[in-house]
Structures are given as structure tokens and as C-alpha cells.
Amino acid sequence: MAYREGDRCKMTLFPPVIEEYVVQKDPVRAYDAIIEAMDTDKLGLVIDRNQVGNPAYDPKTMLKLLIYGYSYGWHSSRKLERACHHNLSFIWLMGGLKPDHKTIANFRKDNKEVVREVLKQTARICLKIDLIEGNCLFTDSTKVRGAASISETRTLKGWEQKLEAVDRGIEELLANCDENDEGETGSLVEVVEELDDKCKLQSRIKALLKQMEEENLKKINATDTDCVNFKGRQGSHAGYSAHVTVDEKNGLIVSADVVSEATDSNQFSAQVEQAVETLGRPCKTAVADAGYSDMDDIKQTTSKDIDVILPTHRQALHEAKDDPFGKDKFRYDAENNRYLCPSGKRLRFSHYSRKKGHYLYRMEEASLCLGCAHWGVCTTSRRGRAIIRLKEEELREKLEARYASEEGQAIYRKRKAKVELPFGHIKRNLNGGAFLVRGLAGVRAEWAILASCFNIARMITLSGGAESLIRRLALV
């Protein structure tokens, strides 16, 4: 059978105009149109066409390169540099410009806030073309590895021991210098270089210890001081918690954020607030999983008349197994400030814990529990059964009732389908399972780029293709 063989000496009919390098329906044209539709002043891009000196690359063109490059899963500035030489869609997007990797890296480093603003602008464009409603929002988080090793995370004691070891190493090197000098043997150059490295490490550790003291930190990572340790499906790593808040209508991301915390317990109100700020108006309903269940934090959202659908930790645990003697089986008597157990016995108020922020109720007489038929099942304490009542117990009861309602369950069931899709797309299709940059400001910008890429890809799909989306953008 015959084979198709290439011929590098054959003349081609390559288009003489860069504009003809890509067809009208190519997705790159949609990326270009979306960035062009954004307000430069609101983005925060500084564009000065009268500046003196060597001409710089157009900031808007560099922003297009960064966003479009991440849509390919290419985060490295060197890969983006090569794409500007070899990939037709990148050559078209850049208009033939070929910035080097250092220029691309510096643009990303110097425009972190601009990049974060792109996601807001994208979401607001979606509002204008009716792809986002903003009525019901779903919030969730995922753990993303940082550009740092978990082995570089140590406690205060660990870094003090490391410092002592470095100090001993410096003393030994100084002693070797003296011996070499007296005996006129060995290479002082190598010893001096090693000594210089040790002194730099010593200064670095001292700075870390000072930061731990000032910020009252229990642990710190030497490579990326902002990241924290967390446990994931692939083991323990150093990284960040990345949050997204998506809209119910089409699952588009309204806001995205990254925090240096391993848990989500106090993040709900902050994430909803960011989404509301992007929308420009309050949402009607906000939904999250039990990881965000912190009553003091949730109260900030419910106080703004936002309907919150969220299971408490108690509900999340009891979904697997119903406890016949759980707290929900004890009835609170508000008039007499006491609880009644399932057997009708009374638990009186004991005290309020300022440290833990809750009220404690105990059985009036311990003998009532010891003589009960349910002793050993309901409680094993010799002091009798105790019940904890939170400071915001009424709010928790309302949330539990709302979540358990038929309407609440119907809305909550949509959560996984809406909020898990962005994580899958970002981590698998966009190669976003780990951050390339370090520092909280940098990873927030990178997460915003990834979220923007997800939105743009969804916008193209929902609009029926790049050409259709461009026509809709022209009407805005």
C-alpha cells in the first residue's frame, strides 16, 4: 500500500496575511473578542502609548496570550514563548509578536490584580448576555498543591533545631578555614562558597523564626511561607484551599479565591460576599457542604436575608447513621431553660464556656442516668448525660430544618453537578492540579486565570460556537 510522505522542499500556499491563519469559527477568536470587550480601566491595565524608551509589548495582547495559553494547559512562560513561534492560533492572537519567556513571566508577576479582575469582567459579561442569573449560588473548595515540598514545613522547634545544625556547620567550616590557612592545604575557594551558602541559610531561618513569632504561626514552609499542609486523596502535601462560587443556571464561575487554610469552616460568608460584589446585587440562595458549617460565619450571610442551604456537621454524620440518642432527640424547653431527654428526664443549665462559646446542660441527678435502661448507650459518663447548646443554636436549628425540607434537598442535590465540574475541568483539562507560582497573591492570580478559562470555554459551548459568541458580544 502507498504511504503519504512529507516534502520539506515543496512550495506551499501559506496565507500571506496573518489574519487568514485561523478560520472564523476558531476558539482563539472568542478569547480575543472577550478580552477586547473588557474595560481596560476597570482591569487596571496601564496603557501609555506616549511612553519613552524601548517600546513595550501591548499589555492587552500579553493578557490575551496568558489567558489563551492557560486554556491549553500551558502555564510555563517557556511553553508560551515556543507557542508564539510554532502555533498558528498563538501567532494570530499575537499578530506575529514573539515575546521571550522572561517578558511573559514578568508580565504575569507584575499584573496579579489585573489577572484577578479578568474573572470578574468575564462573569459580568456573562450577566449581560444572560448566561448567569445570580439567584442561586453554589460554593465549594478543593485542595491544590503549592510549588513547595511538605518536607520544608517545620514547627518552631523544628526550625530551631535546624538553625542549631546550621550554626554548628558554620563553626566547623570556619575551623577548617583556619586549618587550611595554617597548613596551606585544601581549597579555600570551595570552603568560602559553602560558608556563604550556610550563612544565607542561617539568615533565612532566622527570618522564618521571626515571622512565626510575629504572626503566631505553629508551622511554616521555607519555600512558600503562605502555603499550609493538608491531607488529600494522594497523601499529604503543602498547598492551598482553592474556592469557587458558581451560578445555578449554567454552572459558570462567579468568583474564585485561594486561602492559606486547610479547612473551610470560616470561609462561607467571605466567598458569598465576593460573588455578590461581582454580581452587583445580593443573591437569593447560597448553598455549600458541611465543611463550611460555622454558625458565627454563616450568620453574616443570613443577616443579609440570603437563604442558606447547608447541612450542619451533625446532619452530615447522621445521614449515614441515625442516632436514637442524638442531640436532635432532646427537646429544648426555652421557658425554663432546660432540655428534656427522650425518657422525659430534665437536664439543667450548668455553665457557659467563654473559651468554647457554648452552654452546657447536665442531668439534674447523675443517678437518674445510672439507673436508666439506656445507660451505656445514651451515655457512659458517671456524671450523667450532658448536652451542649451553641450560642447560635436557634440559627443552627433553622438551617437544619431548611436543609432537611423537600425544597432544600432538591436544591442541595444540584450542588455536586454544578460546583464539581469546574474542579474537574481545571485539574484535568487545564493541568491545574498544582500551582506554578508561589505566594498567596500569585496563586490567587493563577487560580483566577484557570477559572476564567473554564468560563470562556463554557461560554463558547453554551453559545453554540465561537462565531455565535462573538456576535452576542458585539451586541453588548
Band the pLDDT of 357: cuts 50, 70, 90: confident
Cross-strand partners of 156: none
pLDDT greater than 90 at residue 55: no
pLDDT greater than 80 at residue 182: no
Cα 417 → chain centroid? 19
Band the pLDDT of 451: cuts 50, 70, 90: very high
27-36 and 466-474 helices, crossing angle to 10°? 20
Mean pLDDT of 21-38: 93
pLDDT greater than 80 at residue 321: no
CA distance 331 to 317: 20
Q: What is the pLDDT of residues 376-424, one digit of tens each?
A: 888 888 888 998 888 888 888 899 899 999 999 999 999 988 999 999 9
CA dihedral 7, 11, 13, 14 (to 10 degrees): 70
Band the pLDDT of 102: cuts 50, 70, 90: very high
Q: What is the pLDDT of residues 242-268, one digit of tens each?
A: 999 999 999 999 999 999 998 898 899
Mean pLDDT score of the chain: 88
Cross-strand partners of 333: 338
Reading phi first (left if > 0) and then psi (alpha if -120 to 50, else beta), residue 294 is in beta
> With respect to CATH, is domain 137-146+235-316+400-444 assigned 1.10.30.50?
no
Band the pLDDT of 184: cuts 50, 70, 90: low
Residue 232 or residue 251, greater confidence = 251
Band the pLDDT of 1: cuts 50, 70, 90: very low
Locate cell 469559527: which residue? 25
Residue 182 or residue 217, greater confidence = 217
Cross-strand partners of 388: 360
Residues 6+ apart with CB under 8 A from 384: 362, 363, 365, 366, 368, 369, 370
CA distance 3 to 22: 28
pLDDT greater than 60 at residue 443: yes
Mean pLDDT of 84-106: 93
Task: Give 159-166's long-range contacts (Cβ < 8 A, gap of 24+).
Answer: 159/205, 159/208, 159/209, 159/212, 159/220, 160/209, 162/205, 163/202, 163/205, 163/206, 163/209, 166/198, 166/201, 166/202, 166/205
Interior angle at CA 450, CA 444 and CA 451, nearest 5: 85
Mean pLDDT of 419-438: 93
Mean pLDDT of 147-162: 90
Look at residue 370 in the predicted model and tell me its pLDDT.
Answer: 86
- Specify whether the CB–CB gap between 209 and 160 falls below 8 A: yes
pLDDT greater than 70 at residue 181: no
CA dihedral 59, 476, 128, 426 (to 10 degrees): -40
pLDDT greater than 80 at residue 458: yes
Alpha-helical (H) ranges within 129-240 are 156-183, 188-215
- Specify whether the CB–CB gap between 312 and 392 falls below 8 A: no
The structure's pTM equals: 0.86
Classify strands 338-340 and 346-353 as parallel, antiparallel or unpaired. antiparallel
pLDDT greater than 80 at residue 189: no
Cross-strand partners of 258: 242
Residue type, 291: G
pLDDT greater than 60 at residue 186: no
pLDDT greater than 70 at residue 11: no
For 226-372, strand residue ranges (E) read 228-232, 235-247, 253-259, 285-287, 307-309, 331-333, 338-340, 346-353, 358-363
CA distance 183 to 176: 10
pLDDT greater than 70 at residue 448: yes
Locate cell 510549588: which residue? 147
**Grid cell of 291 as nine digits:** 465543611
Look at residue 258 in the predicted model and tell me its pLDDT.
Answer: 96
Band the pLDDT of 28: cuts 50, 70, 90: very high
Q: Where in the chain are the domains?
A: 18-110, 137-146+235-316+400-444, 150-221, 327-399
Percentage of residues of the chain with pLDDT beyond 70? 93
Classify strands 307-309 and 285-287 as parallel, antiparallel or unpaired. parallel
CA distance 94 to 33: 13
